[in-house]
Structure 1
Amino acid sequence: MADVVIPVAVFGLLCALVRFLHLTEKSEKPKLYYKDDSQFVQSVLDLCPVFKEIFQPTLLWGKSGHLQTFVYAKLGKVLSPFPHGERCSFLMADGATMTYDVFQPHKTHSTNGDYTLLVCPGIANSSEASYVCMFVNYAQDHGYRVAVLNHLGVLPSVPLTSSRMFTYGGTDEYAVMVTEICKRYPDSKLMAIGFSMGGNVVLKYIGEDNSRQKNFLCVMSLCQGYDAGQAAQLAREWGYLRRFYGFVMAKNQKRILKQNYDMLLSTEVQKRYHIDPCRVMAATSAHELDEAYNRRRAGYTSVEEYYKVQSCHTYMSKITLPVLLLNANNDPLVPLPLLEIGKEYAKTHDNALLVNPKHGGHLGFFQKGFFTPDPLTWLDKAALQYAEAIVTLYVSNKLPHRSLRFDIPQKLILNNLKKVHTNIVTMDMEQNGNQNPVPLCRAGCGFYGNTAFEGMCSKCYKDAMKRKENAPTLSGRLSPVATSTVTTVTAPGETDSVGNVTSTLAHTSLGSESGSSNSLQDLAASTTPSVETGSPTVPIPGASNSKQETDKEDIATGGLSTEVASSPDDKKTKKNRCTTCKKKVGLTGFPCRCGGLFCSLHRYSDKHQCDFNYKELAQEQIRKHNPVIVAEKIQKI
């Protein structure tokens, strides 16, 4: 009998373990909910490949929402970094002392801009929470400043100075942090991000007053429940162990009450707000604690009224900012019925996106490895990749609610381009001893000519060569000028770096400034590498007019050159596609110095067969900026 019972028991335990770990479930791509005709969300998705890829949780236990939720709190305390920041405090009107920590970026952002992430952590958490430390360090490495709110009563080193602690939807402390950050860094662009309960706070803060939206580029709400009243009802059920999680949250809040008993449960507070301390300490769920203490201290007549006012779902409809909502299907604290609020909002608002992975738990989202995961979670990467996408659209003037202003970084770029042009002309005159000043372009465009270009500037010379090549097709006969063959000799992959920067600016932030675009295009033309001809050529009259027409076409097309069609039948609209994978990229393509246009996956030089010689370009720039200067031995008269 024992020979049969033991194998059956072992088999049963293995089946239960497989069931608990959900080992038979397949990893899938996150489900995306957004408005069908939203071009903005499509642009964001093109810049965020993490939302289109399969999320692979840790192989052994990563598909269990309970283990994901448990491990993020335990494993993070061992493997997460501990960034060093500046703690700031502010005395509020009711006597409460709120604190927030500011963490400076480890390096300058890739766009040379100033961006600040304003983080609101989850319930009973602060900047010292492990998942907050991990995200802060990751954002610092990518050039972001991070400010993290410390909830009232959470930090043992910061004593309470008033008879209240944090609430589920209280936005007063977060509002003070936003105001102080705006004063300290007036030129910084802000992005709001909230984890768990903090996601409810940031959405409620922005939805309470429409004027607050102008201060932010976007808002991210991660793993929150949207409706506190419905969440409290579901938390009293034992399904998916929600009753147990409610007990843990109530225990954490009661710990804060015990540490600050003299302040939060003093005799004066008990009489003024009709609070029974015995009932408070006997609470075994978040709903019982809210009824016994939180709603009374906040001044509400019922717990239902308290939940309604403290929840963000009554304010979300007013938000027009780009909004990212993220919830996992197996989140034990936020069951699936609560996600319907977020789905409905995402489907009815142009700038909203709800990302719904199959696995991840509550603030877990550990990935990679068989047993030991990567400390940097999928949630951290997804949030920062969304922030990078918003910044990319912002500097490209493609944010629906806010356009890029002509601020200091863009002025610096233009000034640097002008300095490069001035230095090149000055070096040419110094090398010639200032005896033979550089002549102007023979085509009459106003820029300097070059003997290698038949006395014309590089732009006019290229236009002349194009007209020669297209003359037989356009006129139907050969002219004496068009019969001479032209052979261009250039280094493989050689392009004009200044022209690339100029065309990018003209296509993005300076597209509306025609005067600036014209000057930048001419400046790019003046620094184009020389072209050697295989046989004599004849200068073409009227090159100036053709040059001006070409400049206008370049500006109209965003700085990208187009070829003349050989016949009227060939005049078809050319769709922008990735040179590598042939994917339609539309307005979100990334031009490369090798001359190709690529999608977000193949934009980098190591992701496609880029033949541009960056080393040669750097050497050429060094030679131009460091000319050999030799004093004249004999003074010329």
Structure 2
Amino acid sequence: MPLVAESTYQPPFYLFNGHLQTIVPSLWRTVPDVAYQRERLELPDGDFLNLDWSRLPPMRPTNGLVIVSHGLEGDASRPYMRGMVRALNRAGLDALAWNYRSCGGEMNRLLRSYHLGDTDDLDLVLRHALATGRYRRVFLVGFSAGGNVTLKYLGENPDRVPTEVQRAAVFSVPTDLQASSVHIGRLQNQVYLRRFLKSLRLKVRAKAELLPGQIDLAGIEDLRDFQEFDSRYTAPMHGFDSADAYYQHASSGRYLGGIRVPALLVNAQNDPFLPASCFPREVAAGSPFVFLETPPEGGHVGFPEGSPDGEYYSERRAVEFLTAEVPA
């Protein structure tokens, strides 16, 4: 019954609510000591992904590879990604932080982009890494949207997951996308919603310039929430009949029971993005593989600490879980 009974996370005293624990790390944290080597991965459908590698020096043998997936409208350069990569490298692990289609500073080629249930690209990245022949042990880490993709990948078709995949750790995951899309529209969350929609509108406009005549921009500025945006753009651009159909297909919560490798899910109780349905306690209680930790504090993709080495709780917890012989 992998319900983590008690979390050890304690935020700094001056970050005393979920909004501060979310916003301060996002806007003011810096992680300078990470050096990526970028690789362009050409895809079978004519598109591409940009992969950012952070490998250990040749004289230092690696204990495996961790594939790190970012959140909605993020990329490998975000502080939470760089912080996790640094912690993994310190623990003797290579890291591969991949950028979704249209992310990482470069628009993708096709009409489609990325969505929160797209596990095929994660599978392509994973198999590309395995094809190097360098890794017999692989771990997965994901934040928010990337955590949703990671959990869905592990649970929707367990037989597809390569045997090299040992464990996963994900943080701040909207396992119920329908409820989460409503929850973020609450008055107290408008600052987050407006920021996401601004970024998404810019992406659609850039895609319309790249592919003239294929995207209708009329009324794009009138879209006021995720349901409207996803109905207008995300769903039809990725083959779904409606936003509801997209949310139903893409939500990782419905696939958790299929997970067959130890997977840690850490969702803070004060996360402003997550409704009650994103805390799957019953599933974790009945699964030998899904470890659910719900600290009272942490915010969304936050978990800041005042540690002298600059690491955050999410990073320490991921390393602890991924490298443990018996997860707990």
1:518-537 matched pairs, under 5 angstroms: none
Residue number in structure 2 paired with 1:142: 91
TM-score, structure 1 normalization: 0.49
Residue number in structure 1 paired with 2:204: 257
- 1:194 is paired with a residue whose SS is strand
- Give the residue type in structure 1 aligned to 2:118: G
- Give the residue type in structure 1 aligned to 2:2: Y
Structure 2 distance, partners of 1:155, 1:93, is 20
Residue number in structure 2 paired with 1:87: 38
Q: For the structure 1 residues 73 and 187, does the alpha-carbon distance in structure 2 shift closer, same or farther, using more than 3 Å as the test?
A: closer
**Residue of 91, 110, 126 corresponding to 1:178:** 126
1:103-122 matched pairs, under 5 angstroms: 103-106=54-57, 114-122=63-71
Structure 2 distance, partners of 1:107, 1:57, is 37
Please list the CA deviations of residues 6-32 of structure 1 after superposition, one character each: whole Å capped at 9, or x if unmatched.
xxxxxxxxxxxxxxxxxxxxxxxxxxx
Q: For the structure 1 residues 287 and 106, does the alpha-carbon distance in structure 2 shift closer, same or farther, using more than 3 Å as the test?
A: farther
- Give the residue type in structure 2 aligned to 1:385: E
Q: For the structure 1 residues 282 and 374, does the alpha-carbon distance in structure 2 shift closer, same or farther, using more than 3 Å as the test?
A: farther
Structure 2 distance, partners of 1:174, 1:350, is 24
**Residue of 252, 258, 268 corresponding to 1:328:** 268
Please list the CA deviations of residues 412-453 of structure 1 after superposition, one character each: whole Å capped at 9, or x if unmatched.
xxxxxxxxxxxxxxxxxxxxxxxxxxxxxxxxxxxxxxxxxx
Superposed CA RMSD in Å reads: 2.4
Gaps of 5+ in 1: 1-32, 36-44, 46-50, 271-275, 394-398, 400-587, 589-637
Corresponding position: 1:205 with 2:156: no
Corresponding position: 1:191 with 2:159: no
- Give the residue type in structure 1 aligned to 2:119: T
Q: CA deviation at 1:90?
A: 2.0
Please list the CA deviations of residues 176-229 of structure 1 after superposition, one character each: whole Å capped at 9, or x if unmatched.
110110001354300111101000111112223222152311122211110111
Please list the CA deviations of residues 313-369 of structure 1 after superposition, one character each: whole Å capped at 9, or x if unmatched.
222211121110101011001133421xx2122101012211111111011111238
1:28-427 matched pairs, under 5 angstroms: 34=2, 54-60=8-14, 62-76=15-29, 79-106=30-57, 114-156=63-105, 158-211=106-159, 212=161, 214-238=163-187, 241-263=188-210, 266-267=212-213, 269-270=214-215, 276-339=216-279, 342-368=280-306, 375-389=310-324, 392-393=325-326
Q: Verify the 8 A CA contact 2:269 2:296 in the aligned structure 1.
A: yes
Structure 2 distance, partners of 1:183, 1:127, is 22
Please list the CA deviations of residues 560-580 of structure 1 after superposition, one character each: whole Å capped at 9, or x if unmatched.
xxxxxxxxxxxxxxxxxxxxx
- 1:284 is paired with a residue whose SS is coil
Q: Verify the 8 A CA contact 1:200 1:225 in the aligned structure 2.
A: yes
Please list the CA deviations of residues 44-102 of structure 1 after superposition, one character each: whole Å capped at 9, or x if unmatched.
x8xxxxx8564321112x221101111111112xx312412221222223221112111
Structure 1 distance, partners of 2:84, 2:259, is 25
Structure 2 distance, partners of 1:160, 1:313, is 29
- More relative contact order in 1 or in 2 (CA 8 Å, sep 6+)? 2
Residue number in structure 2 paired with 1:550: none
Q: CA deviation at 1:294?
A: 0.6
Q: For the structure 1 residues 313 and 54, does the alpha-carbon distance in structure 2 shift closer, same or farther, using more than 3 Å as the test?
A: closer
Which structure has the highest helix share of the two? 1
Q: How many equivalent residue pairs?
A: 327
Please list the CA deviations of residues 501-538 of structure 1 after superposition, one character each: whole Å capped at 9, or x if unmatched.
xxxxxxxxxxxxxxxxxxxxxxxxxxxxxxxxxxxxxx
1:612-627 matched pairs, under 5 angstroms: none
Which structure has the highest strand share of the two? 2
Residue number in structure 2 paired with 1:466: none
Q: Verify the 8 A CA contact 2:70 2:142 in the aligned structure 1.
A: yes
Q: For the structure 1 residues 163 and 381, does the alpha-carbon distance in structure 2 shift closer, same or farther, using more than 3 Å as the test?
A: same
